[in-house]
Each structure stands twice: as C-alpha cells, then as structure tokens.
Amino acid sequence: MVLDVLLLGLLVTSGGPLGTWLGMRYGLSRRVLGRVLAFGAGALIAAVSIELAFESAGS
C-alpha cells in the first residue's frame, strides 16, 4: 500500500519538474512542452479527485 502511494505521488509530481527540465535542457517547442505540463496538471487533478472520493466514501 505504501509503495503504491509513493509511486502515485511520484507520477503526479513528475510532470512539472520534468517539463521544466526538458524545456531548459532541449529547448522543446511550446507545443511539446505544453503537453508535458498538461500531463502533470491532469495527473494532479486526478490524484486530488481520487483522494476526495476516498475521503467521502470513508465518512
């Protein structure tokens, strides 16, 4: 269970730093960089939604 949470946390938080690093390192186009950052934002929204669903189901 703890490993699952750790991996989900790493996946969720990887989009922002990964997009920043890729943009600085390789000078990607705005389109590609936007897609990487959009993935990070979507994963974050999904994680918050899942957390809220579990909290409401447990109450």
Tokens standing for residue 58: 């447990």
Mean pLDDT score, 47-57 = 84
Tokens standing for residue 1: 């269970």
Where are the domains positioned within the chain? Answer: 22-59
Cα–Cα–Cα angle for 11, 15, 17, rounded to 5 degrees: 115
Cα(29)–Cα(20) distance, integer angstroms: 12
Cα(8)–Cα(49) distance, integer angstroms: 13
pLDDT confidence bin for 59, thresholds 50/70/90: low
Q: What is the pLDDT of residues 2-25, one digit of tens each?
A: 788 788 778 777 777 877 887 788
What is the residue-averaged pLDDT of the chain?
Answer: 81
Mean pLDDT score, 38-59 = 82
